[in-house]
Amino acid sequence: MSLTSKAHGMDGTLVAPDWPPLNLAELGPLFAQFPELGEPARIISSSPRPFSAAGVVAAARARVFIKRHHHSVRNREGLLEEHRFLAYLLAHGAPVPRVLCSSKGETAIESGGWCYEIHEIPGGLDLYEDAPSWTPFLNVAHAHAAGATLARLHLAARDFAAPPRKPRPLVASFTIFAAQNPAEALQSYLAARPSLSHHKPVGTCANLALELLAPFHATLAPLLPALPPLWTHNDLHASNLFWSEAGSTAHATAVIDFGLADRTNAVHDLAHAIERNIVEWLALVRNAKQPPAVHLDHLEVLLDGYESIRPLSAEESAALVPMAALCHAEFALSEADYFLGVLHSEEKAAMAYDGWLVGHARWFASAPGRSLLEFLNRRAQARQLRKGTRS
């Protein structure tokens, strides 16, 4: 990304950023706490991701990736939730970047209402640097590699025992449809976030989504005991991977951006990977009458790649069908919380609680939505049949 300092808009176009871009003046005092880097010399690129200011910075002795968060989005405590997970993954062989420690041993640096973090830049190519979520892989080989990488991440994370994250914006949690009574869980979710609980349209849309998604929860509920809790990434889009090359023999060299991570389960994370990469949701923003493209060829190899490393159980495979429809609900509400409570933008919030929350829920009843679910269901049934044949 060039230094034009544009950010991804709600429809995937580039727009003015919500947060001021990084500048060398602010980085001097920050880098003074990391003497091994030397002084910052040049901001090489600015990230188009919209929820923070970030970029690659060249210092006297290294290049690093820096993110600056407003304290209302990520304070020190919130970043440390992510950093502890990253440190565990790195120690258990997962391909994730190291978060640098200051001379005082701190990885989250608070200053003047902001909170900073500095990451090593992974090896490999940032092929999808400018690609927003909900855009497809360049080829099926990338889809297969992404699935395999997600499985390896799950294996590395399986004994990480931290509790779920505290309520904060922009986290893809799984509590509402993890409960036997989603209506009660929804009220608890909203009550913990005043910007949502005091906003009548949010409540109206959330209850409508609850009604639309009720059949999927009814299918998922008996399978929930077979889904052990797991800390997960929850945003495995191609743009959150570094790559060995652009061609058909590519593999993922690193997983980045754990801002949405939380304690959910492997199926929830896999459903998010499907939701982020397989359905081109941005079409709904640009033209509500144009159905999003669904890349079932990519979906097949994504799942093949995942199961080449971590085969799904019969129950997990069955649970993936309803989870595909349910997984986005809490992140849509979390986005609404961010837009209302942090940016104070009713227009953007409406896109989250109406366009994404309700719009996605409705889409799964459409012909393209049913085709995706039917694909997953056929795969689950084939696994059940193989299980029955073996028994």
Domain boundary among 120, 154, 184: 120
Whether residue 277 is found in the same domain as residue 348: yes
What pLDDT is recorded for position 149?
A: 98
Whether residue 116 is found in the same domain as residue 144: no
CATH number at residue 369: 3.90.1200.10
What pLDDT is recorded for position 386?
A: 72
CA-based R_g, the chain, Å: 20
Residue 1 lies in a domain: no
Whether residue 248 is found in the same domain as residue 99: no
In which element (H, E) is residue 355 found? Answer: none
Hey, which bits of the chain come out as E strands?
A: 7-8, 14-15, 40-46, 53-59, 63-70, 109-111, 114-120, 229-232, 241-243, 252-255, 262-265
Q: Which position has the token pair 């300092």?
A: 5
Calpha distance 275→305 (Å, rounded)? 16
| Helices and strands, number each (H, E), in the chain | 14, 11
Among the listed residues 369, 359, 363, 366, the one whose alpha carbon sits nearest the alpha carbon of residue 336: 359
Phi/psi of residue 199, each to 5°? -120, 105
Residue 125 lies in a domain: no
Domain boundary among 70, 90, 120: 120
Hey, which bits of 211-299 come out as E strands?
A: 229-232, 241-243, 252-255, 262-265
Write down the pTM of the prediction. 0.94
- The identity of residue 335, as a single letter, is E
- The identity of residue 149, as a single letter, is T
The pLDDT averaged over each successive group of 10 residues in the chain (391 residues) is: 59 79 96 96 92 95 97 97 98 97 98 96 93 90 97 98 96 98 98 97 98 98 98 96 91 97 98 96 73 92 98 97 98 98 96 94 94 96 72 49
What pLDDT is recorded for position 1?
A: 40
β-bridge partners, 252: 243
What pLDDT is recorded for position 2?
A: 42
